[in-house]
Structure 1
């Protein structure tokens, strides 16, 4: 698809004169319409799109992993120990490394200031940064309207991953990194500051490895483009040093080399986590990015000179991310955003600015400020989808009580009731496959569930009200219901 300004289209025949039926659109009115389409409407959308995106996610904390990140932040503020040690539960079968410590500390500080309401506001800050970073990336590749379209396509793919977790930092920094590398592809100058940015990224989330990987792909693309153009590629070789140094910088965080092994530690436990499942094109948040990539390929096929090896490398990386797992679709969405924006460009479009224009930046900053103030005023401390009505009964349990907990509330129990010993939480990679098999066998009352459940020695359980396991424990094993609240039951051993 090509968007061209009406004034850029070739004229045919004799121009209509003022006062004729065909001349209803006089030069003055055409200029006003053109100015409206080129300036006013895009700027209105610049205000509306980010505000709608951020406000659509506004509401209670629904991501169960948020809470164990809160617990991790509290532990760091108390001990400042990054060693692979864990005193939360006696059931871990693998060590745990606090490799996402920077945003976890911020989450814990926000909770100290204003409870879960503070976490909600911090999430909105993260959303603003993600949207702003993707929009700035797209704006450097096209007009404001084209950039807003590219950003919207990216946000669709990002939508399932916009919970209050450290991965928000990854999405924002990935957009910054891609923007820098595309600028290097344009002027062949290395952005050495990406080395320091990668160190910061490695302190925040396991996706930091994407920075050096994407950089390597695009740097190789630059060399291939130089050779295809008949130029000496040796002048662009310094670009290859940037991802190498960035990768080394990522290993120099407080947890050292473990930041790499921890990021790749999902292993055989991925099958138990929904976000690591294979993506389906029947899901709109997957289908839209994949269709957008297909549309970009069609545009390239029609405009034979519009592609380059840099773009092909970025396109392949985005496609791989979109097809790898549900969790990585968000990564693919960020990578494809500039390609979608460029595909919308027409031959008469003005050059894209290297930086966000001042007026647009002011509008975006003002919108962000309004949204954040509104979030601050409307957030409440009961801003989570967890059974807080069970708090009193859980507080009454003796310290160290072994609790068979439902997976979705394990992180919240870790944070809100740290004296209890939980069977499982969202840190799935800490448990081996046999352990998780036993947990699922008991949770869904599959054959042999009694032995699987008994192996934990649990004397309490927190389970959904419609859980078959809860019914079986009450009906067959004499467990009693101590409390019911917010869709969950607390059960005690007789």
Structure 2
């Protein structure tokens, strides 16, 4: 048997088949993910807020869903919220499933094409799988997935600018779009500014071209502040930074865990590859630093770290293995697999839908008078906002609408800290719908609240006779 040609793969058949096998695995993973588009309760409050904007809320000065939240908040996700609400109105759950499938397929394909620019198909699809696996906890029908997709666009644009020296002006309108879709728009502007400086320092262009490159992030910032919300978007950034104590995904992540293994592996591989090089460029070091910053900043920015580090690893591995650009047959395979995932998505039964826990209580909730206040935890409240819009749901998890004092008060309520019963009295709920094993549900039962209905997961409680009253702070 003849030996393989010098420099060729040891197992040429496996080398040819592997990218197709890995691509099929990625498609199967996306098909499985499509069965869980609504697994995050956040999807439901996004739908409700989108419906309120459709029904007349001002984007610049939106209203409140309950007198239990009083913060003068700034909408940072209004465009996808409106789009999702419109899809739900016109196409129902099928439309939402298709929207989610399109979102995750688009993210996967864009990531693959970004990585494929620097590496062969085997490396690109392997790293794409690693990114998808690492992002799984964050992939649901929420506007934040758009931020992941937009970061791919930013990295790709500066990749091309680094090679050509031309300013990536399309990022300026992307800045406007990003600022209407998700609060991480400021991360996009910061990343754009950082990469622009790296390209200028590395290429050392003339003054005119350098100014053009640096004008791109400035243009992104100006475009971001020209949305219907206006400059108030900057105050929303400061608001998020002050609330990491109340929302786990904005706290520093635990990088020593199974869930963080894809990120840890990419970071370690990136460091090893760069250490082995003698001519490491400033741009590569910048990508490593940016990926590291995303990794340690918060749980919500972990996907951004995965994307950034995968791009760096692809670039380094591509230096060691020659590769051809994407050809027609490869493009057809990618588009074909994407089409299969999109076609299969609507026919699947849904899993992990938090609304399924709440629907058994629909008849009792529907019997309540309009405006009745229902005490919940964050997940149940988020679902009720959409399923029962006629009710007053004070706790629902959309943190922007609460002051810090309100967030602290409701956190104390959940943990039965001193004063929790005063908070219940202040809310004056007509009923409570809570996890059956929660400390608050147990405390309310102990205090005389009666069980109206119970399932394996939730319990509906009513206050003792004579305790139900109208909240004096609630308008008639």
The aligned counterpart of 2:467 is none
| TM-score after normalising by structure 1 | 0.87
Question: How far did 1:392 drift?
Answer: 1.1
Question: How far did 1:233 drift?
Answer: 6.8
1:443-462 aligned within 5 A: 443-462=414-433
2:468 equivalent to 1:491: no
The aligned counterpart of 2:304 is 331
CA contact (8 A) 2:70 2:402 kept: yes
1:189-338 aligned within 5 A: 189-227=166-204, 235-305=209-279, 307-338=280-311
2:331 equivalent to 1:361: yes
Structure label with greater radius of gyration: 1
- SS of residue matched to 2:245: helix
1:264 and 1:116 mapped to 2: Cα distance? Answer: 35
1:392-471 aligned within 5 A: 392-471=363-442
Correspondent of 1:71 among 40, 45, 48 = 48
Question: How far did 1:270 drift?
Answer: 1.8
Correspondent of 2:81 among 72, 94, 104 = 104
Structure 2: gaps (5+ residues)? 465-476
- SS of residue matched to 1:271: coil
1:365 and 1:213 mapped to 2: Cα distance? Answer: 32
- SS of residue matched to 1:282: coil
Structure 1: gaps (5+ residues)? 1-23
2:129 equivalent to 1:155: no
1:124-135 aligned within 5 A: 124-135=101-112
2:111 and 2:60 mapped to 1: Cα distance? Answer: 34
CA contact (8 A) 1:318 1:332 kept: yes
Are the structure 2 counterparts of residues 88 and 238 from structure 1 closer, same or farther at C-alpha, using a change threshold of 3 Å? same
Higher deviation after alignment, 402-411 or 441-450: 441-450
Question: How far did 1:189 drift?
Answer: 1.1
CA RMSD of aligned residues (A): 2.5
How far does the alpha carbon of each residue in 1:351-394 deviate from its partner, in whole angstroms, 9 at most, with x for none?
5x3xx433222212211221122110114599445411111111
1:276 and 1:90 mapped to 2: Cα distance? Answer: 26
* Count of residue pairs the alignment pairs up: 463
CA contact (8 A) 2:354 2:383 kept: no
1:437 and 1:344 mapped to 2: Cα distance? Answer: 48
How far does the alpha carbon of each residue in 1:210-236 deviate from its partner, in whole angstroms, 9 at most, with x for none?
332212111111122135xxx767643
2:424 and 2:387 mapped to 1: Cα distance? Answer: 24
1:216 and 1:232 mapped to 2: Cα distance? Answer: 18
